[in-house]
Structure 1
Amino acid sequence: MEQNQKLYEFITNHAEEITDEWLRKVKVGRETKYSRETREHGEQEALDQYKDITYSIANIFISKKVNPTDEIQDWAQNISEKRVAEQTPIHETLQNFKTYRVVLWNRMKDFFQDAPVDLEHILRWTELLQEAYDYMVLQFTEHYYKTNIKQLHAQEQLINELSSPVIPITNEEAILPLIGDLDRKRISNIQSTTLERCSQHSYERIYLDMSGVESIDTIVAHHLFQLIQSLELLGVTSVICGMNPKVAQVAIQLGIDFTQIPIKSTLSHALDELGSKQVQN
């Protein structure tokens, strides 16, 4: 136990030197996004981050906890969130981890040479260091993946919301512009979002502007028809505007009956008609 304490004190006493050496190697090594940003504005933050992990790793040699790697887990997950936010490629961070491990191990070898340490202790410390390093990498990569997926889902949700906006034009009418490829997932999102917003705002009529839709497949056509039927159940009349010939042909081939649904050649014609009715009223 005395030897473990000495190693702990050696590492913590040299923590600043270890992190300084790590940073020098990162800065003069292979040019990466991380090394550029570190040179420009993040040097002190990087030093603080790796000084923290140095203390956490040193602690495993003397810790009596059942899970002495808890601090390493917290550090790795915190770093993963920062790297995702900074859009740092995962391989660059793993390369920095490797550089850090080499620097720390070389400094530990200095301790072995300066102090009378038996082989059993060296082997045990080597094992503990490797376990800590592997655990750090595992926690980082796992949390990096989860954070990245969470961020991608948030971005996807935002894109879906922006790509299917229900735009009010009066208190009773709104426009739903449909643009680009309508795949199954997107039309399903459009369906749920549109129904929710029409229900919240009590619209009476919605103009489905399809002038930006080049083509649709069988599933999308049925989803579109289901949307119109669902809106009808909510008391909302759908008006289809700007349907191009390709989309019309698909609808006919599928036997979808649009004869009971108001159809206008363009959105502007539909809005002109709406304006004329309002003037007459």
Structure 2
Amino acid sequence: MHRSQELYNFLVENSWQLTEDWYSSVEDHDPNSVYSTKDPAIIKELKEQNQDYFVRLFKIFIQEEHYFFHEFKQWSEELAKDPKHLITPLHYVIREFMKTQEIVLNYIKKFISLNKETVELEKIFFWYDLVVKTVNLSMNVFIEEYHKNTSTLLNAQQETINELSSPVIMIKEDVALLPLVGHMDTGRTKFILENTLNLCAHKGIVHLFIDLSGVAIIDTMVAQQIFNLINALKLLGVKPTLSGIRPEIAQTATNLGLSFEDIDIKFSLAQALNSIQ
């Protein structure tokens, strides 16, 4: 029902014109969008990608449907990994998919108008549905890849933020400071625990000052993790000293039944650092 060598030939013969029609419709001034480029090499590459997309899409009119969609999905997955498109805001890419679909449907209309006597109405509806289905497949594949890429970038950024916001600062050869600043959640506290233990072991730290004066609020889970860090440091042979404990933090720890008895505590970071002498 869907196959038509005549329609396929017509579309392939006009594929470059379809591409020119598509590119002439692009109006983008956002510097973050690949479609706003003025670089002739990138423009040429965009047109070639678009034309290749058209030619592959048109194969739906000459191939078995199940075979086509399997092959087209694999090709779309590779195309979706193009870095220039992955750093372009998603709504711009979706917009161009929709424009591409519109242009293909317009050329199918031209073919129908040239072959009014031979094209059945049922077949027209079938062709339209296939184009929409194929473009939707492309968009879904791209959105999935875009999401994977975004998640990877966010995870990498979060790791960098965690590393920068929980530095172990060397004060003397075997003495270091861990200043905790900002919002503490369970995920960040877990990272700090693991990172701090590794650094202490790697750098041979025997005395670690942990300053909490830059932390406004700590919930019960985070308080428990901090005490876990203190206990783990002791097992490594590292002496922990706490400073800058706010009343609300002390109250949270007390409510949890966490004992400060065996922990060296200083009122402020200045007092803690003075004790080194």
Normalising to structure 2: TM-score of the pair?
0.83
- Name which of structure 1's ranges 251-260 and 133-142 shifts more when overlaid on structure 2: 251-260
Question: Would you say the 8 A contact 1:165–1:177 is kept in 2?
Answer: yes
**How many percent of aligned residue pairs carry the same amino acid?**
31
What does the per-residue CA deviation read over 1:220-271, in whole Å, with 9 as the maximum and x for residues that have no partner? Answer: 1111111100111111111112223332343344432222111223334333
Would the aligned equivalents of 2:212 and 2:242 in 1 still touch at CA under 8 Å? Answer: yes
With 217-226 and 145-154 compared, the bigger mean Cα shift is at: 145-154
Query: Equivalent residue of 2:4, what SS?
Result: helix
Distance 2:262 2:112 in 1: 87
Equivalent residues in 2 for 1:265-280 (5 A)?
Answer: 265-274=267-276, 276=277
Counterpart selection for 1:38 from 19, 36, 39: 36
Residue 229 (str. 1) matches residue 231 (str. 2) = yes
User: Does the C-alpha gap of structure 1 residues 34 and 122 become closer, same or farther in structure 2, counting only changes over 3 Å?
Assistant: farther
Counterpart amino acid of residue 188 in structure 2: R
Spell out, residue by residue over 1:30-50, the C-alpha distance to the aligned partner (whole angstroms, 9 max, x if none).
876676852544533332221
Q: CA RMSD in A?
A: 2.9
Picking from 104, 124, 127, the partner of 1:125 is: 127
Contact map agreement 1:77 1:144 (CA 8 A) in 2: no
Alpha-carbon contact 2:59-2:68 (below 8 Å) kept: yes
- Where does residue 138 of structure 2 map in the other structure? 136
Residue in 1 aligned with 2:24?
24
**Bigger fraction of residues in helix:** 1
Q: Distance between the aligned counterparts of 1:47 and 1:34, measured in 2?
A: 19
User: 1:34 and 1:248, CA in 2 relative to 1: closer, same or farther beyond 3 A?
Assistant: closer
Classify 1:186/1:74 alpha carbon distance in 2 versus 1 (closer, same or farther; 3 Å): same
- Alpha-carbon shift at residue 121 of structure 1 (Å): 4.5
Q: Does 1:201 align with 2:203?
A: yes
Kindly provide the amino acid, as one letter, of the partner of residue 206 in structure 1: L
Q: Indicate conservation of the 8 Å contact 1:84/1:148, yes or no.
A: no
SS in 1 for 2:176: strand
What are the ranges of 5 or more consecutive residues in structure 1 without an aligned counterpart?
Answer: 277-281
Deviation above 6 Å: which 4+ runs of structure 1?
A: 33-36
Structure 2: unaligned runs, 5 residues or longer: none
Query: Does the C-alpha gap of structure 1 residues 198 and 243 become closer, same or farther in structure 2, counting only changes over 3 Å?
Result: same
Q: 1:131 to 1:253 in 2, by over 3 A?
A: closer
Instruction: Decide which moves more: 200-209 or 244-253.
Output: 244-253
Equivalent pair of 1:176/1:207 in contact (CA under 8 Å): yes
Within the alignment, does 1:4 sit opposite 2:11 as a pair? Answer: no
The Cα of 1:81 is off from its aligned counterpart by: 5.5
Aligned residues: 271
Alignment-derived partner of residue 105 in structure 1: 105
Q: TM-score normalized by structure 1?
A: 0.82
Q: CA deviation at 1:21?
A: 0.8
Query: Do 2:73 and 2:138's aligned partners in 1 also have CA atoms closer than 8 Å?
Result: yes
Match of 1:279 in 2: none
Moved more, 120-129 or 254-263: 120-129
Deviation (angstroms), 1:198 = 2.2
> In structure 2, which of residues 245, 253, 256 is the aligned counterpart of residue 251 of structure 1?
253
Distance (whole Å) between structure 2 residues aligned to residue 258 and residue 138 of structure 1: 55
Which one of the candidate residues 178, 181, 184 is aligned to 1:182? 184
Q: Is the 8 A contact 2:184 2:215 kept in 1?
A: yes
Structure 2 vs 1, CA of residues 81 and 237 (structure 1 numbering), >3 Å: closer, same or farther? farther
Q: Is the 2:86–2:146 Cα contact (8 Å) retained in structure 1?
A: no
Contact 2:33 2:88 in 1 (8 A): no
CA contact (8 A) 2:80 2:86 kept: no
8 Å contact kept, 1:73–1:136: no
CA distance in structure 2 between the aligned counterparts of 1:52 and 1:168, rounded to whole angstroms: 57
Q: Given that residues 184 and 222 in structure 2 are in contact (C-alpha distance below 8 angstroms), is that contact kept between their aligned partners in structure 1? A: yes
* Corresponding residue SS for 1:256: coil
Local SS of the residue matching 1:63: coil
